[in-house]
Amino acid sequence: DQQVKQNSPSLSVQEGRISILNCDYTNSMFDYFLWYKKYPAEGPTFLISISSIKDKNEDGRFTVFLNKSAKHLSLHIVPSQPGDSAVYFCAASPTLFGGATNKLIFGTGTLLAVQP
């Protein structure tokens, strides 16, 4: 049962335009959401996060939006740059797990290609 879903395996965007990556989740106990970027042969790199008490968080070119009622979040990258080309993972952290563990549940990733 995939609790975090990224339904678009890939996305292609022109340099300078907006990239929008989407993520859906099913578990209402998730209260913290993160986006990671991953280049081939490297570990995931933390990009931006959002707590369930917020609906928007911004950091430079990256903005994450959270719609709790729809159990949906999105990552906006504006303007997109060729160096943004990578796999983007959405991850969610549940409030409680055993003795309070901040494990992450990941989606399957979206491959973003930014064309020059």
Partner 1 sequence: ETGVTQSPTHLIKTRGQQVTLRCSSQSGHNTVSWYQQALGQGPQFIFQYYREEENGRGNFPPRFSGLQFPNYSSELNVNALELDDSALYLCASSPGTGSGNTIYFGEGSWLTVV
* Complex with partner 1: residue 4 or 112, whichever CB lies closer: 4
- Minimum CB distance to partner 1 smaller for 15 or for 71: 71
Q: Minimum Å distance from CB 97 to partner 1?
A: 5
From the CB of 83, what's the least distance to partner 1, in Å? 16
Instruction: Summarize as ranges the residues that interact with partner 1 (CB under 8 A).
Output: 4, 31-32, 34, 36, 41-46, 49, 51, 89, 91, 93-95, 97-109
What is the chain written as a DSSP string? --SEE---SEEEEETTS-EEEEEEE--TTEEEEEEEEE-TTS--EEEEEEETT-SEEEETTEEEEEETTTTEEEEEESS--GGG-EEEEEEEEES--SSS----EE---EEEEEE-
Nearest approach in angstroms of CB 23 to partner 1 is 11
